[in-house]
Amino acid sequence: MNSVFEEAVIRQQFEQRGINLKLISLIWKYLAVHENVEAYEVPGLSKAACDVLRTNFKSTTSTVKATVKSADQSTTKLLIQLQNGSFVETVIMSYDSRLGTYAGRQRPGGPRATLCVSSQVGCKMGCTFCATGSMGFKSNLSAGEIVEQLVHASRLLQIRNVVFMGMGEPLNNYNSVVEAIRSMTGQCFQIAPRHITISTVGVIPRINSLKYDLPNVNLAVSLHAPLQEVRCQIMPAARAYPLRKLMDTLRSYQEHCKRKIFIEYIMLDGINDQEDQAHQLGTLLEEREVVVNLIPFNPIGSISKFSSSTKENIELFQKVLRNVYNIRTTVRQEMGQDISGACGQLLVKFSGENSINMEYGRQSEGIPDIEDLSL
């Protein structure tokens, strides 16, 4: 059965039968707040629409099998079972952005929730610091399965931002990700494009396509090293995307989209966190409009061979980028470490209804939206 949130499929079937396409938004809005209701049970539908929905569509093809909250209640991780039996994780991060200041000014807005969605089961990029990479690649998610993560999350909290930073490399599932984002920004969910961020290790051909297909969303690039040989050491997929060619691609992307690019940089002790590497990164980026987000490495249990950089090294790295190269640089305050829901920790280990393995760590603090950093 198809997910009713598979927009291309439902549009095609409605068009073939002359059914008003405006009903799609009505159906989605109803199902987004009503669980355990089939699509054909939505009030106000024509008989023709009900017949199509009853025969061909399910209200959701995925199921939330477990929900785990962090100790400070800021982060919620959902374990979701797909129709084919596979599992993915999606993470909701909630905070009040009015608490404290950022860059010397009061943070805009108020209570907010950001959803970190998965685009694949596993990942084939093999980043050595990422738990998901240890799973290998299993399968791509359909557009409907991606949107359903937003549906499940919306029943718990109102979602303002969506980041494609969960399991998988989004640009390796390009068509489904683009279709899902177009659904998320449509009449039902109305997520603003500038509140959506796609993170990639740097899949050059797809970045070239993205600037035309979704020019108004945010792009985040997992750079993680200023030299090609170091990138290849910790990110095997970087061999296919040479750093010089990637930087040329980002220049072309930026000239077309006129938007800042987010640079993600995980801080690994003794690997990429030295002062000379900060200067190398600054030289690489100083002529581009970027925001660098330094990410303290999160533990991933026995499969981890790295340690996080010291606080002193992170602060020095940030100081070099800011003071010497005038590059806007932040340090990510991780949310959800205690439920293995932080950056790089998503790894499905599921053998029963209540068997999610968790590593308990520090409680998390609120962070400004990544989208707000571009203001």
With 0-12 / 13-18 / 19 or more C-beta atoms within 10 angstroms meaning exposed / middle / buried, residue 105 is exposed
Among the residue ranges 84-98, 145-159, 304-318, 350-364, the one predicted with the least confidence is 350-364
pLDDT in tens, 156-172: 999 999 999 999 999 99
Question: What is residue 71's predicted lDDT score, i.e. its pLDDT?
Answer: 87
Residue 298 clears pLDDT 60, i.e. is over it:
yes
Question: What is residue 88's predicted lDDT score, i.e. its pLDDT?
Answer: 95
Question: What is residue 339's predicted lDDT score, i.e. its pLDDT?
Answer: 43
Average pLDDT of every residue of the chain: 87
Residue 354 clears pLDDT 70, i.e. is over it:
no
Residue 371 clears pLDDT 80, i.e. is over it:
no
Instruction: Say which of 89, 145, 169, 334 is annotated catalytic.
Output: 89
Query: Measuring CA to CA, which residue among 368, 366, 350, 369 is closest to residue 68?
Result: 350
Residue 75 clears pLDDT 80, i.e. is over it:
yes
Question: What is residue 304's predicted lDDT score, i.e. its pLDDT?
Answer: 67
Question: What is residue 108's predicted lDDT score, i.e. its pLDDT?
Answer: 56
> The pTM is what?
0.86
Question: What is residue 150's predicted lDDT score, i.e. its pLDDT?
Answer: 98
* Active site (annotated) includes residue 257: no
* Active site (annotated) includes residue 89: yes
Q: How confident is the model at residue 90 (pLDDT cuts 50, 70, 90)?
A: very high
pLDDT in tens, 224-264: 999 999 999 999 999 999 999 999 999 999 999 999 999 99
With 0-12 / 13-18 / 19 or more C-beta atoms within 10 angstroms meaning exposed / middle / buried, residue 224 is buried
Question: What is residue 334's predicted lDDT score, i.e. its pLDDT?
Answer: 63
Instruction: Say which of 127, 130, 188, 343 is annotated catalytic.
Output: 343
Q: Which residue has the higher pLDDT, 127 or 196?
A: 196
Q: Which residue has the higher pLDDT, 236 or 304?
A: 236
